[in-house]
Amino acid sequence: MHVVLVSVTNDLTTDQRVDRTCQTLQKTGYDVLLIGRYRRNSQKLAPRSYKMHRMRLLFDKGPLFYAEYNITLFFYLLFHHSDLLVSNDLDTLAANYLANRIKRRISRIFHSPPAGKTGKEPAQLGSGHIHDCHEYFRGVPELVGRKFVIGVWKWIEDAIFPRLRYVIAVNQSIADLYSKEYHVEIGVVRNVPFRKSPSAAMKRSRFNIREDQKVILYQGAVNVDRGLEEVVGAMKFLVTDAVLIIAGIGDIFESLKKFTDESGLAAKVRFPGQVPFQELHSMTLMADIGISIEKDVSVNYHYCLPNKFLDYIQAGIPVLVSPFPEMKAIVDFYQIGDYIGSHEPESLALKIDSMLNNSEKLDTYKQNLIQAADDLCWENEEKTLLLTVERVTNDH
């Protein structure tokens, strides 16, 4: 059986895109090993149909982490058999690219035809390599204003990206940015979920929420410029009896909890922390609206098509989003929600109130979400990934 090694820098707990990729690769006949890292607060992984490995590293963040991760990953990839490598985002690219180049070179040496022999050119041997761009990496908000760090990442990207043969990206906007910059053909595989069968919503009592209260849900990384401080502040001005759930962890998780307590809003906001993706859908089902209100502070956010937005659609939950191109196009086409006009807490409260108190419009959104969920599912989207795998296999 052919072997594929898939690598990410996270701890594998919540990465739904990579899980879907692994399942698709397994369906094509690959023996899949997903490689990530183990962190001090990492949860125990639930069993999956493919193998997983989490590397233990000395450093947890910063340049020393990325250096240690790529060096450790490089040797792991080099000394483990593979027929295909899949790198996810720029922070895993260097190790995968170098390991792939060396494996292919070694393979050519050992499988080169004897001296004086002529005939058909031998097939390419060694590992193939697919690179998956989850975002426009140099445009993430955490790097805004950090010219030296951006410069280092750009140096790595400039050295490798033009040499890549098989690249996919999470949406057309990100694909266009990279294609224009590096003149590389890029396929689009959006972060759409698997089509979900009807199932029961998680009990609201689990979060001490009454059945007559409305639920506003944010799921995903609790990081800067996601509009989270503002939506917490909006709870003070909200007329509707509602509770905000912020499901996830991140750089501002503790400071956001502190801000919530100091604002006297602890009774209106819940912080369940990191939720395994196996449980996330049932949590999403109990929401009345789902929010994705990133700020327009970076290229990456401006062109984002977040997992949470697509998860809300698959759960049939009306959405309130920032009017960014990728999300706005879907909201407008399917008529499944609304977008914000401002991040000011009072303005957000007015918008949320107007949605939650218009039952007729919410019903229309929910009806339209049925078609949106049918269209925007992994079963449709994986075709591009399968085509890319087929091209690598034929070239291999």
- Set out the domains of the chain in order of their start, with CATH numbers: 3-192+378-395 (3.40.50.2000), 204-375 (3.40.50.2000)
Cα distances (angstroms) measured from residue 178 to each of 138, 327, 377: 11, 20, 25
Both tokens of 298, joined, read 């970076």
Residue type, 314: Q
Q: What is the pTM of this model?
A: 0.84
Q: Token match 């450790």: residue? A: 72
Strands 31-38 and 289-292: unpaired
Q: What is the C-alpha separation between 179 and 185, in angstroms, rounded?
A: 6
Instruction: Give exposure, 51-73, as e/b (b: 16+ Cβ within 10 Å).
Output: ebebbebeeeeeeebbebbbebb
Q: pLDDT tens string for the chain (396 positions)?
A: 899 999 999 999 888 899 999 999 999 999 999 999 999 889 899 899 999 999 999 999 999 999 999 999 999 999 999 999 999 999 999 999 999 999 988 877 876 555 555 444 433 445 799 999 999 888 877 777 789 999 999 999 999 999 999 999 999 999 999 999 999 999 999 999 999 888 889 999 999 999 999 999 999 999 989 999 999 999 999 999 999 999 999 989 999 999 999 999 999 999 999 888 788 999 999 999 999 999 999 898 899 999 899 999 999 999 999 999 999 999 999 999 999 999 999 999 999 999 999 999 999 999 999 999 999 999 999 999 999 999 998 876
Given a contact cutoff of 8 angstroms between Cβ atoms, the answer to whether 73 and 56 are in contact is: no
Contact (Cβ atoms closer than 8 angstroms) between residue 238 and residue 348: no
What angle do helix axes 147-160 and 93-111 make, rounded to 10 degrees? 20
Instruction: Name, in order, each residue with C-beta under 8 angstroms of 94's C-beta and a sequence gap of 6 or more.
Output: 70, 74, 156, 160
